[in-house]
């Protein structure tokens, strides 16, 4: 995700923080300083936000570990002002699997809330707040922090289970509907409709409040906007996948492919790139695909090696390929998982074509235009 930076790698998953999250810390710190009139209050406010987002991170790892159980990796987890986002390599298509993955995040919050409740229960009655003893005051502060963490976990669990797709509750709803009907696409569309309706309601509550129960809240409006856009995006993605279901790569792949030889210079690659034919080039030697030279590798290589360096010094040899009979949906999943821009289509080791996201997008647009014409 753009404007985000990696801050850690835990259990093989990159943890990233978005620039807007830093703005949230600054806003909360300045607001606490304004309200309480001390620098310490500002730092405490910002620290509390960090603690809350550690809980959010644990929530997202719940999703990631549940997905890993089904062989689905997680590209990264990004912390945003409205919460966390775990980018799975692909979403499970089995309703039972999606149900487990979706419920795993809120389940983490439920477990944390139960542990905090048990700890408070075992600690007994809270100390007397009028006591002058340092130990009593310290115990009281610790108890209040635990109570606030307990409340935060309960709120996170309940809020995420609201059936507003694509939030966790919406994914649970889709999984249950798909389980009952056996139609994943229809279940997605129905869940997206419900999600948009709830987003509209949430946005109205955030903008105008709900009498004396809920005051107007800008954060609710932002969450509603996110849910609305994400629900529409997910529905569109599933609709596109329906267009591609069981369609072989040979129907969509680019067949007019420019290739490079491993012994050619990078200057030749620059010529091909500037000619506008394509951005990624299969490297072919004796009729076999032996590598891929991607634009993202070519540009940095020009700075360090110049134009006279051979292609073999820069090309990737750990590339993945597809076959012309392979369903597009499967190839696209692998293309997105590796972060590649193009996928050589081969039979044996002979190059037949190239699959790019542009090819797929153009095919979908053409199909949509033809449907409109009919």
How many residues are there in the chain? 374
Q: Which domains does the chain have, with CATH numbers?
A: 4-244 (no CATH), 249-373 (3.10.580.10)
Q: Which pLDDT tens digits describe the chain residue by residue (374 residues)?
A: 677 889 999 999 999 998 888 888 888 888 887 888 888 888 888 888 899 999 999 999 999 999 999 989 898 999 888 788 888 887 787 899 999 999 999 999 999 999 999 998 888 776 665 555 555 566 677 788 889 999 999 999 998 998 887 789 999 999 999 999 888 888 888 888 898 898 899 889 888 888 777 778 777 888 888 888 888 877 777 766 666 666 778 888 888 888 999 999 999 989 988 887 688 899 999 889 999 998 888 888 998 888 889 999 999 888 888 888 887 777 877 777 777 778 899 988 889 999 888 877 787 777 767 766 65
CA–CA distance, 89 with 196 (Å, rounded to integer): 25
Plot region of 94 (φ>0 → left; ψ -120 to 50 → alpha; else → beta): beta
Using alpha carbons, select from 176, 351, 198 the residue that is nearest to residue 278.
Answer: 351
Using alpha carbons, select from 223, 194, 218 the residue that is nearest to residue 208.
Answer: 218
Strands 281-285, 83-88: parallel, antiparallel or unpaired by DSSP?
unpaired
Q: H or E segment at 167?
A: none
* Global pTM value: 0.69
């Amino acid at each position: 995700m753009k404007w985000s930076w990696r801050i850690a790698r835990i259990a093989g998953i990159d943890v990233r923080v978005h620039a807007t999250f830093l703005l949230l810390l600054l806003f909360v710190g300045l607001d606490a300083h304004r309200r309480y009139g001390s620098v310490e209050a500002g730092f405490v406010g910002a620290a509390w936000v960090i603690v809350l987002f550690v809980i959010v991170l644990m929530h997202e790892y719940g999703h990631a570990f549940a997905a890993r159980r089904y062989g689905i990796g997680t590209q990264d987890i990004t912390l945003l002002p409205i919460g966390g986002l775990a980018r799975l390599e692909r979403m499970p298509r089995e309703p039972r699997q999606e149900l487990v993955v979706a419920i795993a995040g809120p389940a983490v919050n439920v477990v944390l809330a139960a542990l905090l409740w048990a700890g408070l229960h075992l600690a007994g009655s809270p100390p007397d707040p009028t006591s002058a003893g340092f130990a009593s005051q310290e115990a009281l502060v610790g108890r209040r922090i635990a109570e606030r963490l307990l409340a935060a976990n309960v709120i996170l669990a309940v809020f995420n289970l609201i059936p507003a797709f694509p939030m966790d509750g919406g994914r649970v709803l889709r999984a249950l509907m798909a389980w009952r009907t056996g139609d994943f696409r229809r279940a997605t569309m129905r869940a997206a409709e419900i999600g948009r309706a709830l987003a509209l309601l949430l946005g109205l509550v955030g903008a105008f409040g709900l009498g004396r129960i809920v005051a107007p809240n800008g954060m609710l409006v932002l969450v509603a906007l996110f849910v609305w856009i994400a629900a529409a995006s997910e529905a569109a993605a599933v609709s596109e996948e329906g267009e591609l279901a069981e369609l072989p790569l040979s129907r969509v792949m680019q067949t007019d492919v420019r290739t490079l030889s491993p012994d050619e210079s990078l200057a030749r690659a620059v010529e091909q790139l500037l000619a506008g034919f394509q951005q990624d080039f299969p490297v072919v030697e004796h009729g076999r695909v032996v590598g891929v030279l991607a634009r993202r590798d070519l540009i940095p290589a020009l700075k360090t090696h110049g134009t006279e360096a051979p292609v073999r010094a820069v090309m990737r040899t750990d590339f993945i390929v597809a076959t012309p009979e392979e369903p597009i949906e499967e190839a696209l999943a692998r293309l997105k998982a590796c972060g590649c821009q193009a996928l050589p289509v081969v039979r044996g080791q002979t190059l037949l074509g190239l699959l790019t996201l542009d090819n797929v997008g153009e095919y979908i647009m053409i199909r949509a235009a033809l449907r409109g014409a009919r």
